[in-house]
Every structure is written in structure tokens, then in C-alpha cells.
Chains A and B, each alone.
Chain A
């Protein structure tokens, strides 16, 4: 099935059939946008949830500015309320992650996993539905909020 070099060299940057391919990709893009953008996009960040290995280990209430550690996980969670932001340190067998929670955001401040993608690549959580995942350390941070479409405004 390999084509000759001459046939490969004759190739153009655009063929008629490309239109069909690009239309198909455009349809996929539109479907993805419709599925994930139009339905209830959450806002109004209410809670920050921290999961370790898919278990909810810590919940921070953005309104009361208080956090709560799930029972059985007290030994892996440490809170620091001394600064302007609250720092939650999670130390597990996999490694150490520090989540910084500000007045209206949460971000992964540091992680000891190699390359620390969760620190460098994930944008801060600013509204419900946002997420930060540290796959090597099995830590997931999610934002929880009220869905816009569910809000009743008078």
C-alpha cells in the first residue's frame, strides 16, 4: 500500500476531498461546543473539593472561608490560615501537593511530582466546574458552584 516517492511529491497542500474532511471536523467541533458550552456552565464558586485517589478528602467553603477534612484523612491534610490566602497541604504516599485558596480562586501552588503539570499547565479554578488534576499524585481539585441556568433571579 506504500505509494512511490514520485506520487508523494506530487501531493498538494489542498485537495477537493479535504472540504469533506474539514466539514466533518467542523461538525465535530460544533457538536463539542454545543455539548459542553451551551448547557449549564457553572459560576459563583461555592466550594473547593479535594480528592485523593477519587475519595473526597477535603472541602473548603468559599463563603464561610472554612475547610473541613473528611474523617480518616486528618493525617494527610494540613491547613495554614496564617497568610492572606489559605494553603492546604496534602501529603500522601504518592507525594506532596499544596493547594492555595484565595478569595475567589484556588490553584495548585506546588507539587513534588516530576514536571508538575498541575502547577504549570492548569489554570486556577475560578468557577464551578473548573478542575485541576495531578495524575502522578492522584490528587484532583474541583470547583463547585451554582449552575447559571438553575439560578432563580427576581
Chain B
């Protein structure tokens, strides 16, 4: 594997910070269940851009499984993991085929909206309650806002953190 120990260390650091953000955010009460900014996804995108799609998948799986165990809500793995993987797939496709034509912000918004739709769909299938689809009316706009926040923060980090820092600690050559 290219990068060896450095790659694993960087991925572990990204996953750990992402997990802390995921857990802290899940403790903040919201008016709509499942609605949150999703700041942990900043590190999903950074892993995708700086390490590659396979590392991003590992990050999403580890964060979701550990986050659900820590949160004591194992059933959340079903819909959070599915939504996380599908939204990451959308990000990978846009990054692979439209990078440069589509900004990181738009990529993040697309992933967030898809995440909320898939999560709601799986939740409905699991609980057998189709009424829950009604909450998409709130969850889609919330996905747009959270996607914008995550996209802008990710791009700001890439743009304004000095190249020397990335080269020394993060970028795998």
C-alpha cells in the first residue's frame, strides 16, 4: 500500500477526529430527528481528496459503527451506514468524473441531500412507517444547508492551511 505507516496514521487521526465530532453532534438535541450539520463529514471529504476513495470508505464504516456503539443505538448502523456509503459513492462519482467542473461545495451538498434521502428511505423500510417520508420536506433543505457548511469548511481548510503542513503531515506521495 502506498504511504504505509503514514497513510494509516493519517487515516486513524481523521477517523478519530471525525468520530469525536459525530458523537458530540449526536448529543445536541434537534427539532427534526436525524438533522445535524454533519461536521464529521469534513474529514470524510478530506480523506477522499487526500488519501483516496478506499480510505474514505474505511473512515465512514469505522466512524458509523463505533459512533453507533458509543451512542448506544446499534439499530442506527443500518440506516446511517447505508446512507453514508451511498452518499460517499455520489461524492466519488462527482470527484472522479466532474472535478473542476463541479466545486467541492456542490459535491458536498449533493452528498448531504442524498444521505438524508437514503437514510429516511432505509428508516421507513426498517420501521415499516411510510409517514416518516413526510420529514423529507425538512430533511432535504437541512441537507442543503449542512452540505454547504461542510463543503465551505473543507475547501477553506484545503485552501488556507499552508502547503508545508499538508506536505509534512498529511499528503501521501
Residues of A within 8 A of B (CB): 1-3, 5-9, 11-18, 20-22, 24-25, 28-29, 32-33, 35-37, 54, 113-115, 117, 120-123, 129-131, 133, 135-136, 140, 142
Contact = CB atoms under 8 A, between A and B. Distances in A.
B32 A28 contact: no
B101 A129 contact: no
A130 B137 CA distance: 13
Contact of B144 (A13, A25, A130, A140): A25
Given A121-B31, A129-B131, A25 B109 contact: yes
Contacts of A13: 103, 105, 152, 155
Interface stretch (B14-22, B45-53, B57-65, B81-89): B45-53
Contact of A115 (B27, B96, B98): B27
A3 to B, nearest CB: 6
A22 B158 CA distance: 23
Contact of A17 (B52, B102, B109, B127): B102
Interface in B95-116: 95-96, 98-107, 109-110, 113
Nearest to B113: A25
Given A11-B155, A11-B159, A36-B137, A135 B106 contact: no
A115 B71 contact: yes
B169 interface: no
Nearest 3 interchain pairs by C-beta = A114-B72, A17-B101, A18-B106
B53 A14 contact: no
B9 interface: no
B99 A3 contact: yes
Contact of B98 (A17, A32, A117, A133): A17
Contact of B73 (A32, A136, A140, A142): A136
Interface residues of B, number: 55
Contacts of A11: 103-104, 155, 158-159
B137 A142 contact: no
A53 to B, nearest CB: 10
B10 interface: no
A133 B129 contact: yes
A115 B70 CA distance: 11
B5 interface: no
Contact of A133 (B73, B99, B132, B144): B132
Nearest to B171: A5
Given A16-B101, A115-B72, A121 B33 contact: yes
A131 B33 CA distance: 11
A135 B51 CA distance: 35
Contacts of B29: 120-121
A54 B134 contact: no
A12 to B, nearest CB: 6
B15 to A, nearest CB: 18
Contact of A32 (B27, B71, B137): B137
B136 A36 contact: yes
A17 B140 CA distance: 21
